[in-house]
Amino acid sequence: MVLKAFCTRTSALLHQRFCSDYVKQMRYLFNLKEDDDACRQALTSGTFYLFHNLAPLLQKSKEGNTAPQINASEVNTILEKMGQQEMKLEDSVLIDCSEREVAQFALDLGLLEKSALESNLQGKFVDLRKALLLLNGKNAPLLMKMSPVVITLVSDGSRCLLARQEAFPAGMYTALAGFCDIGETVEDAVHREVAEEVGLEVEAVKYTGSQHWSFPDSSLMIACHATVHPKKTQILLNKFELEDAHWFSVEEVLMALNRGVFLKGESGTVPVWVPPKWAIAHHLIQEWAQQQIR
């Protein structure tokens, strides 16, 4: 019995010693998800991404825009200052924890006066779509619901197809994307979306990566390359889905990649540009271009 107890303690100590920081972090997060009391306790020492009717709070600094993490005591102070003691931190949603095991929450303050909150927090609540263009990927706040979406860069071997919707910023073109239907595989969804949106028949599909994307329904973007026959490239545009779609040469794509984000045009014209560097669409397009110039 003594030997067994010694072995048990030794095993536990060795597991703790060799357990990576990442594993510890994930175990802590798992415990918060499973234990309501632990999660409630973590609210008192956690940090909060703040929203106003789903618009995240942004602050501007010399380094650019950030989505600040506000500590619990500061949030409570602001709520008390605005006479909202009845609003509780328990109304927040657990989204993650830091490497130092500080819980991170999202809290929507949509019932409070927006301008007063912005004044107290020294920031602005920005529409989610615009916010994701202003932030880099690491600073983009998350929403919890997730829906699978395929995002596909179509190529005929020497060109790639980029498209735009009417709601896009002027000049922005990107890869095709659409939600997966119930019962579909990723491959099925790619074939269907390409056929629906541009009237092309995909011959081959290759998965390349994924990314969480916060709108319109907090999606999991599943990135793929798709190829079509080089003699079957005539675009049949679905005008209910897209405003425009074109084949682009590698030279045109490289110029678009180097332009960065154009939110405002100069002299009334806006050149073709692609999503920002942290977006998976950018990685898809860049990956294709690099393959062409090897």
Secondary structure (DSSP) of 74-132: HHHHHHHHTT-TTS-GGGSEEEEE-TT--EEEEEE-TTS-HHHHHHHHTSEE--HHHHH
Q: Give, in degrees to the nearest 5, the angle at Cα 160 between 154 and 161.
A: 65
Stronger pLDDT, 130 or 146, i.e. the higher one: 130
Q: List, in order, residues 6 or more apart from 241 with CB less than 8 Å away.
A: 165, 196, 197
Decide if pLDDT at 223 tops 70: yes
SS3 176: strand
Return d(Cα 249, Cα 208) in angstroms, integer. Answer: 21
Q: Which two tokens stand for residue 230?
A: 């080089």
Q: Which two tokens stand for residue 277?
A: 């560097």
What pLDDT, on a 0 to 100 scale, did the predictor assign at position 115?
93
What pLDDT, on a 0 to 100 scale, did the predictor assign at position 265?
52
Instruction: Give residue 183's pLDDT band: very low, low, confident or very high (50, 70, 90).
Output: confident
Instruction: Give residue 129's pLDDT band: very low, low, confident or very high (50, 70, 90).
Output: confident
Radius of gyration of the chain (CA): 24
Decide if pLDDT at 255 tops 80: yes
SS3 243: coil
- Model pLDDT for residues 32-48, shown as the tens digit of each residue: 988 999 999 999 999 99
CB atoms within 10 A of CB 287: 14
Return d(Cα 85, Cα 112) in angstroms, integer. Answer: 12
DSSP assigned state of 180: P
Q: What is the mean pLDDT of the chain?
A: 84
Q: List, in order, residues 6 or more apart from 289 with CB less than 8 Å away.
A: 250, 253, 254, 257
What pLDDT, on a 0 to 100 scale, did the predictor assign at position 200?
93
Q: List, in order, residues 6 or more apart from 208 with CB less than 8 Å away.
A: 223, 224, 225, 283, 284, 287
- Model pLDDT for residues 61-107, shown as the tens digit of each residue: 877 888 899 999 999 998 888 877 656 788 888 888 888 899 999 99
Return d(Cα 220, Cα 54) in angstroms, integer. Answer: 18
Q: List, in order, residues 6 or more apart from 70 with CB less than 8 Å away.
A: 47, 48, 49, 50, 57, 121
Of the candidates 231, 148, 154, the residue with the CA atom closest to the CA atom of residue 191: 154
Residue with token string 């907090």: 218
What's the average model confidence in pLDDT over 178-191? 89
Q: Where are the alpha helices (DSSP H) in the chain?
A: 2-18, 21-34, 36-42, 72-81, 114-121, 128-134, 186-198, 250-259, 280-293
CB 241 within 8 A of CB 253: no
Q: List, in order, residues 6 or more apart from 34 with CB less than 8 Å away.
A: none
Q: List, in order, residues 6 or more apart from 200 with CB less than 8 Å away.
A: 154, 161, 194, 228, 232, 233, 235, 236
